[in-house]
């Protein structure tokens, strides 16, 4: 049940101001998460929620705009991560003439997003919700590096969103104890498991079940950038 899926592959010719599709869920083999891809343009999105029991982690893959959570409005841009706490709702608005392309991960319940007529209140116990790329926070792993975006500092529990850079190389085959959905941000490569391989390009998502043997190869001379969310777990650098 490891697989790749191209986020925008089923986009209709006229997607309208709001378009959403599911990429990862129980029907596709996930045991701990759901991920949806959203495009928003021209006007605010519907008010969305994952319900009272789920935390939501957002990744801004392209565009600029804002994310409203309750009464708070956060400006967001390319490569930002955003946390929405259980019970909260959120709404996305793209800047004029811009399309926001967003990956939304929901943990731990296996449910999609629901629309609401009214915005739930903001949980002021965690006032900061946006994480941006910061070279000072990088963790080096040989020629590779990664940085946590959304993690416990912003209020995430048993889940971490990270951004990483992979040089032109092929990793050793390995496994993780967590489930992972990985977004290819830049560069091209090949994902391998024990019996098959598949090419990956920007906009692709790779889903890894727990304990699945795999290797990600970067074939681009300039390297590959990826963003992932792991759950259950808080350290994407651990493998075996």
pLDDT digits (tens, 9 = 90+) for 122-171: 999 999 999 999 988 888 777 778 899 999 999 999 999 999 999 999 98
Helices (H), 54-106: none
Q: What's the pTM value of the predicted model, to 2 decimals?
A: 0.95
pLDDT tens-place string over residues 192-209: 998 899 999 999 999 999
Position 240 scores a pLDDT of: 67
Residue 79, by phi and psi: left (phi above 0), alpha (psi -120 to 50) or beta? left
CA angle centred on 23, ends 18 and 211, rounded to 5°: 155
């Amino acid at each position: 049940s490891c697989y790749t899926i191209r986020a925008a592959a089923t986009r209709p010719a006229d997607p309208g101001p709001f378009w959403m599709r599911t990429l990862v869920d129980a029907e596709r083999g996930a045991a701990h998460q759901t991920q949806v891809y959203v495009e928003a343009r021209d006007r605010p999105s519907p008010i969305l929620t994952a319900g009272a029991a789920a935390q939501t982690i957002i990744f801004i893959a392209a565009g600029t705009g804002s994310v409203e959570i309750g009464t708070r409005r956060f400006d967001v841009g390319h490569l930002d991560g955003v946390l929405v706490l259980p019970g909260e709702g959120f709404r996305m608005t793209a800047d004029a003439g811009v399309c926001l392309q967003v990956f939304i991960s929901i943990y731990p319940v296996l449910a999609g997003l629901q629309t609401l007529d009214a915005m739930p209140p903001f949980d002021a116990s965690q006032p900061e919700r946006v994480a941006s790329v910061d070279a000072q926070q990088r963790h080096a792993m040989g020629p590779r590096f990664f940085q946590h975006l959304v993690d416990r500092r912003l209020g995430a529990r048993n889940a971490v969103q990270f951004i990483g850079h992979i040089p032109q190389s092929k990793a050793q085959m390995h496994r993780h104890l967590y489930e992972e959905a990985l977004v290819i941000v830049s560069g091209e490569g090949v994902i391998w498991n024990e019996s098959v391989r598949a090419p990956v390009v920007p906009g692709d998502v790779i889903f890894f079940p727990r304990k699945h043997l795999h290797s990600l190869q970067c074939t681009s001379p300039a390297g590959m950038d990826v963003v992932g969310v792991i759950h259950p777990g808080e350290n994407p650098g651990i493998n075996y």
